[in-house]
Amino acid sequence: MSKEKGDNYWRDKLSPEEFQVCREAGTERPFSGEYWDLFEDGSYRCRCCGEVLFESESKFDAGCGWPSFDAEARQGVVEERVDNTLGMQRTEIVCANCGCHLGHVFPDGPTETGLRYCVNSLSVKFDPDQGEET
């Protein structure tokens, strides 16, 4: 899939809520997404293109109300961008394959990576099959 797909393409593929988060960089309310408290084995794929972005082994409860991970599934599947909205500087994370807005990454994670990838449930789909496909 291409990052150049237009709004009409994505509106046909996504619900209005998914479109607002994935394509317009929205944020779902904390503790409202379907995956914030899911801790089963599997992979988290981009809701737009299906790319494996995070694995369950890297998921932890950050207490923030969004799915949180300490590492991406493979280096380079998540792209970082500067986000200066809301009067602060943050680091936005998007799917490197299709540009889907995922959330933000913060340098306050509790594991050895020191990272907390804070992800909207609407941006990903959980695949209960263990690990990513080879």
Q: pTM for the complete prediction?
A: 0.91
* 100 known member of a binding site: no
Q: Is 46 annotated as a binding residue?
A: yes
Domains and CATH numbers, the chain: 7-127 (2.170.150.20)
Q: What is the mean pLDDT of the chain?
A: 93
Per-residue pLDDT tens for 58-85?
Answer: 999 999 999 999 999 999 999 999 999 8
Question: Catalytic residues, which ones?
Answer: 118
Whole-angstrom Cα distance, residue 120 to residue 80?
15
CA distances from 132 to 21, 28, 50, 67, 101 (A): 24, 26, 11, 18, 21
pLDDT, tens digit (0-9, with 9 covering 90-100), for 5-58: 888 999 999 999 999 999 999 999 999 999 999 999 999 999 999 999 999 999
